[in-house]
Homo-oligomer: A and B are copies of this chain.
């Protein structure tokens, strides 16, 4: 692939005719980086993809495999040659990298969470807020065809205003205790998706919440300051009642279900199973297991998400979910964490106005 080095030369021609395309830079060449890289390369309006990583060898290797370019991380962060960045680095690095990137005017896709540490997020807001509509957060579930269909049904007023919402979000395999020093924990890494889903499905902000958490799967998690099981109860600003059930392990797969209830009945998204074969024998009726992980459950979601982002870049439109959504999900995770420690129903209202 022949990457045009600068966005400013006017020559990012994709075909012999005159079609211009996007020049994209991807930061972070781990498994998630590869996933995004493959999605980016399938976009029809692409002129070039450059990869970088804190480990240059890793960037070079993936670049070779994908047929893309690579460049040093520092160079990428200071470049103004790109139309868009994908920030797929560890969460702790996101905010600082965003601050470096946005002055170039480029769009940024930032994997979730925006950060694990509200202090650094809050500190960065003055620099980032002017670019809020160019910063998309990686809440991929909004792009899952099932969740998107649920949202459409809600918007179509199938059930009216949501009165009660229930989200289940459970991982298949719990992390090893040893790996937890790198983890922002159940609320910041897993439940954060559900906090975002809640705001999106309710089309509203959370006014207050209480989170009960415990280490029920393995008490050793508690000894290193983690919980493995959480139930969060929340209230929207119009009184809607929300419940989120999180767990780090099921014995049966990646459990991601939503049920919304209102005057018009209830809408639910179950776990799809594939392949879809039933066996009936003396023990009853059996269907094979659901997907074991997010990769098997949401493969289309990533492609659709990245396509939507690059389409917005191409058209110069506003992205969604954006910086505000990333901020709010992290803020709710922070409040849930505080509630989980204090045992108090805490307000989530205050910071809402920051982005009004």
Name A's B-contacting residues (CB within 8 A). 145-146, 148-150, 153, 158-159, 161, 163-164, 166, 170, 208, 210, 212, 214, 216-217, 229-231, 233, 235, 239-243, 245, 247, 250-252, 255, 261, 263-270, 272-290, 343-345
Contact = CB atoms under 8 A, between A and B. Distances in A.
A245 B240 CA distance: 12
13 contacts: A148-B275, A163-B229, A243-B245, A245-B261, A251-B264, A251-B281, A265-B281, A268-B278, A269-B278, A272-B274, A285-B287, A286-B287, A345-B345
A252 B278 contact: no
Given A146-B275, A161-B216, 9 more contacts: A149-B277, A163-B216, A208-B343, A210-B210, A267-B277, A269-B277, A280-B290, A282-B289, A284-B286
A274 B216 contact: no
Q: Lowest 4 CB-CB distances: which A-B pairs, in order?
A: A149-B275, A265-B281, A231-B241, A214-B239
Among A145, A150, A272, A278: residue with most chain B CB under 10 A: A278
Contacts of A273: 284-285
B251 A267 contact: no
A341 to B, nearest CB: 12
B150 A277 contact: yes
A278 B247 CA distance: 20
Contacts of A276: 146, 149, 269-270, 272
Contacts of A344: 344-345
Given A153-B279, A264-B251, A210 B229 contact: no
Count this chain's copies in the assembly: 4
Contacts of A261: 170, 245, 247, 250
A283 B280 contact: no
Contacts of A161: 216
Contacts of A280: 252, 265-266, 268, 290
Contacts of A164: 229, 231, 245, 247
Nearest to A281: B265
A262 B288 CA distance: 19
Contacts of A250: 261, 265-266
A166 B163 contact: no
Contacts of A158: 279
Contacts of A242: 231
Contacts of A277: 146, 149-150, 153, 267-269
A231 B300 CA distance: 34
Given A216-B240, A245-B241, A261-B247, A252 B275 contact: no
B285 A286 contact: yes
B266 A252 contact: yes
A2 B265 CA distance: 51
Contacts of A145: 274-275
B283 A217 contact: no
Contacts of A231: 164, 233, 241-243
A266 B279 contact: yes
A282 B263 CA distance: 11
Contacts of A286: 283-287
B265 A251 contact: yes
